[in-house]
Structure 1
Amino acid sequence: MPQAVRAYVGLGANLGDARATLRAALQALWALPGCVPAGVSSLWRSAPVDAQGPDFFNAVAALDTTLAPLELLRQLQAIELAHGRERPYRNAPRTLDLDLLLYGDVQQSDPVLTLPHPRAHERAFVLAPLHEIAPALCWPGQGWSLTQLLQDVQDQAIEPLPGDWR
């Protein structure tokens, strides 16, 4: 049996009942074969980055998985489709966005999947919830701490939302 790897998945939505969609997506993520829940952040609100539309609700989930990175990505995309995800243009508003942010220390770049996620380290809506559940994490291949990375994006508006959203 393959050894489990800690993966981090970014969850985001800004159309429809975003909170309900994120709750359902988290349950679907936790139910994936070969995946064991390892933590989830609070819910955060942020303005769209390089896009327009309503504010996003965001979170980061940690899971231990025996799925290979591409198979995990396929599973994430299937969950998105089940929740009405459309891709009319880059950075369009969305009912659900699931991004494979990190997969252990794996670094890869191919036409289908880039790990770590190529823009995650530049986005407060990823870094703040990720820091909440993995404060000691260092960015694979770079050695940057999440605290350092958060300092670089402190001009991006983001706020934690009170209460348990799960």
Structure 2
Amino acid sequence: MTRAVLSIGSNLGDRLAHLRSVVAGLGARVVAVSPVYSTPPWGGVEQDDYLNAVVVVDDPERAAIDWLRHGQRLEQAADRVREVRWGARTLDVDVIWCADRGHDEWIAVSSADPELTLPHPQAHRRAFVLIPWQDVEPDATLEVDGRAQAITDLLDELPAAERLGVRRTELTLLHDTEGSASCS
């Protein structure tokens, strides 16, 4: 069984509908869904603010690369266009962290493959990933420079302006009739 943390974001079109399409497209694999946050764009390209969230998923039949491929299919279904690095997008689905089930614990997957680097090489620098992740897995750790670090500690290391730019909204990714996943 693999468990993955997916960071999802949208700043074009019906942003909330795009994020909800991810939760719907993952179905019963969804373990937890964070609140939705409004965040400024990251990467220096002029564009509108994003809606961001984190989705935790698991599936006994999936490997890390399968989560990437599934995310790419969801992006394609949302008409994602890749023209400008860190540019505006209808939907972005990033695999942040993935683990295999060990005897009695999750064992984080590491990958230096250019197609899927794990853990995500920039996650520890992005409050829009860490804050929603902390909502659903407050004790999570992320390997940075070969050392597992609590995401709470990684957040503390970010500039205050970075953290304060991530603003929780009243929006939700789950409809009231959906009870299979937790949502704050």
Q: Does 1:16 align with 2:13?
A: yes
1:135-159 residue CA offsets vs partner (Å, 9 max, x unmatched): 0011134221111111122321111
2:79 maps to: 84
Cα distance in 2 between the residues matched to 1:7 and 1:113: 13
1:7 Cα deviation after fit: 0.7
1:30 Cα deviation after fit: 2.2
CA contact (8 A) 1:29 1:76 kept: no
What SS is found at the alignment partner of 1:91?
Answer: coil
Cα distance in 1 between the residues matched to 2:84 and 2:40: 18
Residue identity matched to 2:71: L
What SS is found at the alignment partner of 2:149?
Answer: coil
Q: Which runs of 4+ in 1 moved over 4 A?
A: none
1:164 maps to: 172
Q: How many residues were matched structurally? A: 159
User: How high is the sequence identity, in percent, across the aligned residues?
Assistant: 35
TM-score, normalising length from structure 1? 0.91
Residue identity matched to 2:153: Q
Alignment gaps of 5+ in structure 2: 100-107, 175-184
1:163 Cα deviation after fit: 4.2
Alignment gaps of 5+ in structure 1: none
1:86-106 residue CA offsets vs partner (Å, 9 max, x unmatched): 100200100000001100101
Q: Does 1:130 align with 2:138?
A: no
Residue identity matched to 1:48: P
